[in-house]
Amino acid sequence: MPAHEAAGPPHGPARTGAAFHAVYGAGPAGVWAAPGRVNLIGEHTDYNDGFVLPLALPHTTLAAAAPRTDGALRLHSGDAPGGVVEVPYGALTPGRDLGWAAYPAGVVWAMREAGLPVGGLDLHLDSTVPTGAGLSSSAALEVATALALDGLYGLGLGRQELARLAQRAENAFVGVPCGIMDQTAAARCTTGHALLLDTRDLTARQVPLDLTGHGLRLLVIDTRVRHALADGAYAERRAGCERAARHLGVPALRDIGYGQLPDALDALTELSGVRPLVRHIVTENHRVQEVIARLDAGEPRAAGPLLTAGHASLRDDFAVSCAELDLAVDTALAAGALGARMTGGGFGGSAVALVEDAAEQEVTAAVRTAFAAAGHAAPRVFTARPGPGAHRVA
Ligand code: ADP
Ligand code: MG
């Protein structure tokens, strides 16, 4: 993260506005922020019409932006090498190799495709969201850009519309077949809450998550690795889930209730490869509801074992964990965590651990020691406190 580790004023709108001025020779019309996210539970369920429970991180991507009358895009990021990326008016088509700039360019493209009156854009980004760590820097970038365009061009879009357009940018322009969780979290999370999202109808409930008040904290352990098979494995899991749903005659695996799981597995004997996938999705949707029940009952400690069961399911049934994530989870649990699981797509990225305040140091030290002993790079460990969703900051 070169930008925020460099000298000068801390990450914030003043610094990002000044950087915009340095790049473009004039100040921005405004600065907008969107957060990274961590998912408490509900993994790989968002492309099965299921339930997810993310919270916004205090880490944000800031977008300083100004409109342009010529329809062109000039895109710059303090976190990407290579200077300003210019996209002339009329040259905005999917499939062009724009590198990182495909994310913001894709948002403009998705908005224009939707018939929205979006002209040109000068954009400068600064971010404290770790990239490629499963904490959704891509959605933070997209949603910050989408909110900036909404402000610059007076679009009046709702939060879920912003998220939809951002997802379309990532799916159809960048070419990543992600679900709707990340962009919705960046757009709709609120301070002090986790967001219970039904990814079928996109209804949501803000679930109070006052871990501090219970003497608890949620540690995020960024393993700093991402294994090469991640993207192909994601597409494969997704296709397997869709095949199973078709075979079972339901629109999506969300439609298989927890009590129907044994029958569903029996019906899939010829498709043996997909049975573990179905078992994960059905039990994971159930675990989200169980976690919600514990939180609603004011018993967040009781959510711990559900997180750990979720990890076992992702590791053994969905097969998307890896040595570093398993080590983070196993070590955190052995050092006293109440529960721990990988979070995000898998094959690297981050894990979360629910710990007593008093156990924070011990768990953190144990994970660091175990990573060093295994010869892995030092993990990044921090506490996640639910922050605000996307908003204007200047
Ligand atoms: P994640 O969303 O988990 O961080 P992704 O692979 O989905 O991982 O997205 C990471 C990619 O998003 C980066 O490789 C880069 O192309 C782009 N990206 C994210 N944040 C920024 C940023 N601040 N500046 C430039 N590109 C960024
Ligand atoms: Mg992403």
Q: Is the shortest distance between the CB of 178 and ligand 1 below 6 Å? A: no
Q: Is the shortest distance between the CB of 223 and ligand 1 below 6 Å? A: no
| CA of 3, closest atom in ligand 1 | 23
**308-323 as b/e: b if 16+ CB within 10 A:** bbbbebbbebbebbbe
Nearest CA to ligand 1 atom 11: 138
Ligand 1: distance of its center to the CA of 127 in Å?
Answer: 10
What would the two tokens of residue 96 be?
A: 């062009």
Task: Return the H-helix or E-strand segment holding 113.
Answer: helix 102-113
Q: Is the shortest distance between the CB of 141 and ligand 1 below 6 Å? A: yes
Per-residue pLDDT of the chain (394 residues; tens, 9 = 90+): 454 445 678 999 999 999 999 999 999 999 999 999 999 999 999 999 999 999 999 999 999 999 999 999 999 999 999 999 999 999 999 989 999 999 999 999 999 999 999 999 999 999 999 999 999 999 999 999 999 999 999 999 999 999 999 999 999 999 999 999 999 999 999 999 999 999 999 999 999 999 999 999 999 999 999 988 788 899 999 999 999 999 999 999 999 999 999 999 999 999 889 999 999 999 999 999 999 999 999 999 999 999 999 999 999 999 999 999 999 999 999 999 999 999 999 999 999 999 999 999 999 999 999 999 999 999 999 999 999 999 999 9
Closest CA relative to residue 159, chosen from 208, 126, 197: 197
How high is the pLDDT of residue 127? Answer: 98
DSSP 219-259: EEEEEEEE-TTHHHHHHHHHHHHHHHHHHHTSSSGGGS-GG
- Residue 190: CB atoms within 10 Å: 16
| Nearest ligand by distance to the CA of 226 | 1
Q: How far is CA 92 from CA 86, 139, 357, 363, in A?
A: 10, 20, 50, 48
Ligand 2: distance of its center to the CA of 196 in Å?
Answer: 19
| Nearest ligand by distance to the CA of 166 | 2
Q: Sheet harboring 348-356: ordered strands across?
A: 339-343, 348-356, 216-226, 380-384
Query: Which DSSP letter does residue 375 get?
Result: T
Q: Is the shortest distance between the CB of 318 and ligand 1 below 6 Å? A: no
CATH topology of domain 13-208: Ribosomal Protein S5; domain 2 (3.30.230)
Ligand 2: distance of its center to the CA of 178 in Å?
Answer: 8
| CA of 139, closest atom in ligand 1 | 2
Domain edges within the chain: 13-208, 212-383
Q: Is the shortest distance between the CB of 125 and ligand 1 below 6 Å? A: yes
Catalytic residue set:
182
Ligand 2: distance of its center to the CA of 132 in Å?
Answer: 7
CA distance linking residue 277 with residue 160, whole number of Å: 28
Beta bridge partners of 39: 54
Nearest CA to ligand 1 atom 22: 79
DSSP 36-49: EEEESS--S-TTTT
| Nearest ligand by distance to the CA of 142 | 1
User: Residues with Cβ < 8 Å from 22, sequence gap 6 or more?
Assistant: none
Q: How far is CA 253 from CA 42, 101, 266, 310, in A?
A: 13, 35, 15, 17
Collapsing DSSP states into helix, strand and coil, what is residue 342?
strand
- Phi/psi for 303 (5° steps) reads -75, -20
Q: Is the shortest distance between the CB of 134 and ligand 1 below 6 Å? A: yes
Strands (E) in the chain, as ranges, are 30-39, 51-52, 54-68, 73-77, 85-87, 120-127, 193-198, 204-208, 216-226, 339-343, 348-356, 380-384, 391-392
Q: How far is CA 381 from CA 54, 126, 337, 390, in A?
A: 18, 21, 14, 24
Does residue 3 contact residue 78 with C-beta atoms inside 8 Å? Answer: yes
Ligand 1: distance of its center to the CA of 132 in Å?
Answer: 6
Provide the CATH number for the domain formed by 212-383 in this structure. Answer: 3.30.70.890
| CA of 99, closest atom in ligand 1 | 16
The most distant pair of C-alpha atoms in the chain lies apart, rounded to whole Å, by 66
